[in-house]
Amino acid sequence: MADTSDFRNGLIIKFKNDLYSIIEFQHVKPGKGGAFVRSMLKNLKTGKVLDNTFRAGESVEVVRVERRKYQYLYREGEFLVCMDNDTYEQINVPIGLFGDGVVYLKESEEIEILFNGEEIINVEIPIFVNLKVVETEPGFRGDTATGANKPAKLETGATINVPLFINIGDYLRVDTRTGGYVERVKS
């Protein structure tokens, strides 16, 4: 058991019979009354964020999680098959644990899987990925002043809005959290 003085960003605790990650926290010492800790907690299963206040020194159950690097291999129905980079063991991970960014994940991409014992708690995919444009309207030189966008289909099958100067065959950096175009990159 730990208490609120052990809080740090990213710490995983058991709260209300669920696992939560501490997004941020703040120790508050008001003029009157006892000190307390204001915190934002993210549910690892549902992804919902909640605000909670703990009394200073209140005991919490810290969950020890293990992070392992895996390589995404391919999709098989409602699962993604991933391979452990150290042991080459393959596991099936439910697609729901990957979140919305799974549409930007291409084969052989490296991911991190969080385990509580043998149970998979969460999957962390890269924040930025480089993907090739396979289908879009032709771009023209000088189409940068208006800030207009056009749709572009990427090699993973996802479609995002990109600036008018992007062409088929260009490589783009995409933010997997928002699905937004970041920049054009070299292959």
Which position has the token pair 């783009």? Answer: 172
User: Domain check: are 56 and 7 in the same one?
Assistant: yes
- pLDDT score, position 69: 93
Q: Residue 177 belongs to a domain with what CATH number?
A: 2.40.50.140
pLDDT tens profile 129-139 = 999 999 988 86
Q: Residue 54 belongs to a domain with what CATH number?
A: 2.30.30.30
Give the Cα separation of 76 and 1 in Å (integer). 40
Is 94 within 8 Å of 78 (Cβ atoms)? yes
Is 25 within 8 Å of 3 (Cβ atoms)? no
Give residue 87's domain range: 66-124
User: Domain check: are 117 and 133 in the same one?
Assistant: no
What is the count of structural domains for the chain? 3
Give the Cα separation of 10 and 8 in Å (integer). 6
pLDDT tens profile 62-106 = 988 888 999 999 999 899 999 998 899 999 998 888 878 889 999
Name the pTM for this structure: 0.73
User: Domain check: are 105 and 71 in the same one?
Assistant: yes
Phi-psi region of 99 (alpha: psi -120 to 50; beta: other; left: phi over 0): left
User: Domain check: are 83 and 51 in the same one?
Assistant: no
pLDDT tens profile 24-70 = 999 999 888 889 999 999 888 777 899 999 998 889 999 888 889 99
Rounded to 5°, the CA angle 38-44-45 comes to 135
